[in-house]
Structure 1
């Protein structure tokens, strides 16, 4: 031990600093020549460490970032972990609980948004105002902002409920209001122009989309076993997202849909191409196999047809809006239309399609 400097020991060309933390005798080596100046600095450092230990503010990693013992103590103090470490640990624990598409979305949010902005910050240092300011500068839709925020919310919620943290700053951060997709339905004339530019399986697919209200991901996951032409109905049970099958978006999304005449005609025509021995109803005619994703339909069928027809571009989701607006304009009961589209109640119908709902006497 160095005379006049309690807790410091010279070891060749290095100095060892000793202290007790959480009942453990700790020794950390400083690989620098033991000059008098350095000894005085380390004596002050040790005093600061002892004071922080006494007041409960000691951060081992801050003082000795390369120490193996520091990493061991960090495990016993998760609140001193970085946000990046906590996010990755949370995601590893719950990875198997999510569908593939959700796994990819959360991984993207963590890798491309949350860790670049907050990853190196200690968990306990995050504040609500930091998150609010970051959200305000984030250039994407409010719906996307909410999705990006979800892994961070769930990480902090778990740590707070487990009493690892004594506060959860995310509780004071409201989700930005996500406005529903605006409806720009096609007119019957536009539908006719688009369908006239299509033949065979492509025409059947798009005609069915206009008159069934299914999402594109549900269209490409439809199987012949879920089609009941005799009773004029289909059963929507799955969706295909990024090439992988998953359950419908919500519990109410799993539903029975009554076939409109035009939708039934499209299926009868499609049966000549893929039924009844094939599994999937709609095939990509270029490969004579099931569609892998909705992007392929957009690029090879939908966009070229609208261009040839001279119809202003709207995304394929607008076929769903078209279906709803047509039924409501003809006096369809909003509750029934909501059920046909897979909404749990008619609140969403009222928000998005209110101007097409016919008043009842």
Structure 2
């Protein structure tokens, strides 16, 4: 069994992954390999890498267990392939995952916008742009789903949209499939979302496939970076405390649940596998999925738009 340096193996292995993974997933792998693994273990012979080395390295890291798990997942996959290629006798990461004892967070990440804040934010945008963010507040779409949305995915007759693809910054404008089976779904268009789409249709329907365009380029949004730039500027103008654009998704969930909508319906709308995640994340807002789902939230909040 020949000896190979870890950096040489990881560099070659990473190249083999590019055509196997979604662009966003590969970009995550690349960053872990190039920014973390090679600088730390690159000069070590691959067969000299020990589980204790990994544990001692991860221990002082100031990050959560999810990040630690992602790093170890890349190592585990790379070493599994090394075993398959007869470069190693065994995978030191097999049946092992280092975790820290989680410390309770003083505040969680869910920080929705109040109806008054939503109104101030939308008023600070130009009307055509305000419609885009009104749509986000009232559909709960992920940014990648919002960016990738085409007019062909919208059924105005049945008032629903079909989520079947995403576009991320890492994919360079190329559409990819959702990460999970539950990501494929049909989202009911509530009245404020329908109003927003009506305005968008006047602005973008004849310009191409994309529903939502960057006002600076008049083309499809290039990921979330330009959205954040415009969002940050607008929240400052609206004198609303800053929260990242993803909080529009949390706002949607909190509105639906606090208005009494069925948690299972909310989970399906948002693309969660089941309602346990909804309960875990949004439990504080929870007080039957049917054809009237969404009407309670409309009655409570739509007049604020």
TM-score by length of 1: 0.72
Quote the offset at 1:176 in angstroms. 3.6
Q: Deviations over 1:27-83 (max 9, x none)?
A: xxxxxxxxxxxxxxxxxxxxxxxxxxxxxxxxxxxxxxxxxxxxxxxxxx14x2222
Query: Given the alignment of the two structures, is residue 322 of structure 1 paired with residue 251 of structure 2, yes or no?
Result: yes
For 1:137, which of 60, 67, 83 is the aligned residue? Answer: 60
Does the Cα contact within 8 Å between 1:224 and 1:276 map onto a contact in 2?
no
Q: Using a 3 Å threshold, how does the CA distance of structure 1 residues 251 and 281 change in structure 2: closer, same or farther?
A: same
Q: Deviations over 1:231-264 (max 9, x none)?
A: 1101111111113321123221111000111111
Which residue matches 2:128? 201
Deviates more, 1:134-143 or 1:322-331: 134-143
Q: Deviations over 1:264-316 (max 9, x none)?
A: 1100111110115521101112222211111101102x111111111111101
CA distance in 1, matches of 2:197, 2:267: 23
Count how many residue pairs are aligned between Structure 1 and Structure 2: 280
Does the Cα contact within 8 Å between 2:55 and 2:98 map onto a contact in 1?
no
For 2:217, which of 280, 287, 291 is the aligned residue? Answer: 287
Q: Using a 3 Å threshold, how does the CA distance of structure 1 residues 175 and 324 change in structure 2: closer, same or farther?
A: farther
TM-score by length of 2: 0.85
Does the Cα contact within 8 Å between 2:69 and 2:97 map onto a contact in 1?
no
List 4+ stretches of structure 1 deviating above 4 A.
Answer: 161-164, 177-181
Q: Deviations over 1:129-183 (max 9, x none)?
A: 2111211223444433333333211121233456653332213541547999721
Which residue matches 1:16? none
Query: Given the alignment of the two structures, is residue 225 of structure 1 paired with residue 148 of structure 2, yes or no?
Result: no
- Rg larger for: 1
Q: Deviations over 1:182-238 (max 9, x none)?
A: 211111111111111112321011100100010111111110111111111011111
CA distance in 2, matches of 1:226, 1:194: 27
Question: SS in structure 1 opposite 2:167?
Answer: strand
Q: Using a 3 Å threshold, how does the CA distance of structure 1 residues 175 and 348 change in structure 2: closer, same or farther?
A: farther
More strand per residue: 1 or 2?
1
Does the Cα contact within 8 Å between 2:17 and 2:26 map onto a contact in 1?
no
For 1:346, which of 275, 285, 292 is the aligned residue? Answer: 275
- In the alignment, structure 1 segments of 5+ residues that lack a partner are 1-76
